[in-house]
Amino acid sequence: MVMQKGFTIWFTGLSGAGKTTLSNLLHHRLQERGVTNVEVLDGDVVRTHLSKGLGFTKEDRDTNIRRIGWVAHLLTKHKVPNLVSAISPYREVRDEVRMMVEHSGGKGSFIEVFVDCPVCECEKRDVKGLYAKARKGELKQFTGIDDPYEEPHRPEVHIRTNEATPDEGVEMIINHLKTHGLI
Amino acid sequence: MVMQKGFTIWFTGLSGAGKTTLSNLLHHRLQERGVTNVEVLDGDVVRTHLSKGLGFTKEDRDTNIRRIGWVAHLLTKHKVPNLVSAISPYREVRDEVRMMVEHSGGKGSFIEVFVDCPVCECEKRDVKGLYAKARKGELKQFTGIDDPYEEPHRPEVHIRTNEATPDEGVEMIINHLKTHGLI
């Protein structure tokens, strides 16, 4: 029996870019490979558990991301692979989470996946109808519309979801995990 | 290799009753028995990570406890034994956490330990000097002084820390865990 290593896959990108789709598919693929103790942390769900009452100012967003990051670091520390989807628009706090996770899981245990899709394409999909609301001004501080998104400088995996299929994207992550001895 | 089961030991009681002392000693004893993947969640520490900005109204206390409980349930779900120390003065939210943990860890995976010590004794010890501040009115909403503590009705383990030594208290918990096949 090979001891499973802990790691955090951190999906960052605009709303509608495909973070949850990739996360769910990766979860499925990992299960097929016998990695069964994976925890999926969806930003929206985690927000209701950890950050009810917080809004979307930079400060509140950062606090929310730090909390998710703290949970991710606990899971990684205890060798539970975890998949986090969160817009997490600010570079500095993502790097802070990276340090926290790598502190307990070791170098390489934090895998930042940039789920890259042009805002016009996300807006065209608009699965949840949020962009329409943001354009009408019904939603304020919407990332990509009237709130910034800071792209990762050196993400471990960079997936252009308007070019690659979900399967191709997940394959890129699986390859990274294999190359780095994480699965 | 025996697969470790997940469980949550939930220490509840007044400030100064001995929750952290028992938790640390139990952690040590579990390590000696080869249970090495234990996570210790101290209420004060967790508060800084998950609940900065929350105060000590009933609502804020309940929110804080729900967040710690959510993390405990995640750890239990992934077979990581976890020891939580938190005053957690309200019965209803403790029972809510119990349900959440048992939902993922199975019946019996939540062990409520009532760390029972008369307030006069806690006040006499006053390790952190908090009771003195509360009496002077410098700290408001202090559990046991001007804020309620609801004792558990049927805790799995009931330790009277003004009668039992820490070693005796921990022995009671170890016995419970052995009897219920958790270690």
pLDDT tens per residue, range B88-133? 999 999 999 999 999 999 999 999 999 999 999 999 999 899 999 9
Q: With a cut of 90, say whether residue B148 has pLDDT above it.
A: yes
CATH number of the domain bearing residue A89? 3.40.50.300
Chain B residue with the nearest C-alpha to that of A64: B50
Predicted pLDDT of residue B120: 96
Predicted pLDDT of residue A30: 97
Phi, psi dihedral angles at B6 (to 5 degrees) = -85, 145
Evaluate whether residue A21 is within a structural domain.
Answer: yes
Residues 6 or more apart in contact with residue B144 via CB below 8 angstroms: B14, B15, B119, B122, B123
Q: Which residues pair with A119 in a beta bridge?
A: none
Which residue from A37, A66, A71 is facing B71, i.e. has the nearest CB?
A: A71
Residues of chain B in contact with residue A67, where contact means CB-CB under 8 angstroms, are 49-50
The H or E element spanning position B10 is strand B8-12
Phi, psi dihedral angles at B10 (to 5 degrees) = -110, 105
Predicted pLDDT of residue A1: 45
Evaluate whether residue B1 is within a structural domain.
Answer: no
> What total of structural domains would you count in chain B?
1
Distance from CA of A154 to the nearest CA of B (A): 27
pLDDT tens per residue, range B42-95? 998 899 999 988 999 999 999 999 999 999 999 999 999 999 999 999 999 999
Evaluate whether residue B88 is within a structural domain.
Answer: yes
Q: Which residue range(s) make up the domain with A173?
A: 8-117+150-179
Mean confidence (pLDDT) of chain A:
96
Tell me the three state secondary structure of residue A83: strand
Residues A87 and A80: their CA atoms lie apart, in Å, by: 22
In which residue ranges of chain A is pLDDT below 50? 1
Evaluate whether residue A30 is within a structural domain.
Answer: yes
pTM: 0.95
Mean confidence (pLDDT) of chain B:
96
Is A50 within 8 Å of B50 when comparing Cβ atoms? yes
Evaluate whether residue A133 is within a structural domain.
Answer: no
Evaluate whether residue A138 is within a structural domain.
Answer: no
- Token readout for B72 is 């405990």
The H or E element spanning position B83 is strand B82-85
Q: How far does Cα A144 stand from its chain's mean position?
A: 16
Q: With a cut of 70, say whether residue B2 has pLDDT above it.
A: no
The vertex-B59 CA angle with B74 and B40, nearest 5°, equals: 35
Q: Helices A58-77 and B43-50: crossing angle, nearest 10°?
A: 130
pLDDT tens per residue, range B6-45? 999 999 999 999 999 999 999 999 999 999 999 999 998 8
Evaluate whether residue A130 is within a structural domain.
Answer: no
Q: Which residues pair with A126 in a beta bridge?
A: none
Evaluate whether residue A29 is within a structural domain.
Answer: yes
Predicted pLDDT of residue A2: 56
Predicted pLDDT of residue B113: 98
Confidence label for B1 from pLDDT (cuts 50, 70 and 90): very low
Q: Which residue do the tokens 């349930």 mark?
A: B73
Does the CB of B50 have a partner CB in chain A at under 8 Å? Answer: yes
